[in-house]
Amino acid sequence: MTLALTSAGAPDISPNHFWKLTAAERSPIWAELRANHPVSLQPGPQESLIPSRPFWAVTRHADVQHVSRNADVFCSGQGVGIADIPVEFLELTSSFLVMDAPRHTKMRRIVSGAFTPRRVAALDEAITAEAHRNVDRFVEAGGGDVVEGLSKHLPLWAISTMMGVPESMRAEMYEAAEGLITIQDSEFVSNPEEALTLGMQCSEEIHRIAAELVVMKSADPTDDVLSVLVNAEVDGDKLTEQELGAIFMLFAVAGNDTTRNSTSHG
């Protein structure tokens, strides 16, 4: 297929139809960018419900490494996506994804420290057992919609188990996490204002749940990731309620959406 050209003459990789191409179909376009337009200013997708900004497409390996390793020039603290989203919303939802060193380094060290080999092994065993039960339930029900009946359950169950969310709070967490996924879908929201309003409401709901859990874990820590984070310190300081809420949000939404989609496609 033929793509429009950017103002610099590079192929325009912003439109949705480019990303619907197969990897083999996209390959010669990437080759063209690497060979003749290794850094190009792209207009950003125009079909998105949430308005997007122009973005730089960096396509050579050495250049990508340079960008990744020079946070003082190429910062993450003002956002890591191309959607034009308020910084306040980013801080609520993205945690250390929208931080730069040295704060990012410290935060990542704390979160990584919560995943000890013993805890990962226990999670692996629990998730494997639940995956078997999940498939058995789907088969016993006679099959059905794969996303609703099979893919949707396990990621949210795993995140809830990992973060120590009691059964009584899981339904409201699931609903808020679902809401944050739907704000990018025109089937559920009709305009950018509605999307951002729903996004803020769902974000605040997840932060409210996280705040309740933080109080619980502070008083009675259990063997889960959130309990470890509640009692962890960065240079002698504990994580704030907002920092803990943002980490909780990141797990609840990012882990849910990605794993559900990869399971469904598989």
Q: What's residue 256's pLDDT?
A: 81
Q: How far is CA 1 from CA 4, 17, 23, 59, 131, in A?
A: 10, 10, 13, 20, 41
Contact indicator for 97, 246 with CB cutoff of 8 Å: no
Q: Residues 152, 192, 91, 88: is their CA dihedral positive or negative?
A: negative
9-12 long-range contacts, CB within 8 A, separation 24+ = 9/37, 10/36, 10/37, 10/40, 10/42, 10/57, 11/37, 12/42, 12/43
User: Rounded distance, CA 219 to CA 233, Å?
Assistant: 17
Q: What DSSP state is assigned to residue 115?
A: -
Whether 34 and 59 have beta carbons less than 8 Å apart is answered as yes
Q: What is the pLDDT of residue 241?
A: 86
Q: What is the pLDDT along the chain (266 residues), one digit of tens a residue?
A: 455 556 578 999 998 899 999 999 999 999 999 999 999 999 988 766 667 788 999 999 999 999 988 888 888 877 777 877 776 667 666 677 778 888 888 888 888 888 889 888 988 999 999 999 999 999 999 999 999 899 989 998 999 999 999 999 999 998 998 888 888 777 888 887 888 788 889 888 999 999 999 999 999 998 899 999 998 877 777 888 888 998 898 888 877 878 888 888 88
Bridge partners, residue 55, by sequence: 42
- Residues 100-148: pLDDT tens digits? 888 888 888 888 888 889 888 988 999 999 999 999 999 999 999 999 8
- Residue 49 has a pLDDT of 67
Residue 251 · residue 115 · CB < 8 Å: no
Among residues 87, 38, 250, 251, which one has the least CA distance to residue 157?
A: 251
| Alpha-helical runs (H) found in the chain | 16-19, 23-36, 61-68, 87-93, 103-113, 117-140, 146, 153-163, 167-182, 192-219, 225-230, 241-265
DSSP 8-state symbol, 3: P
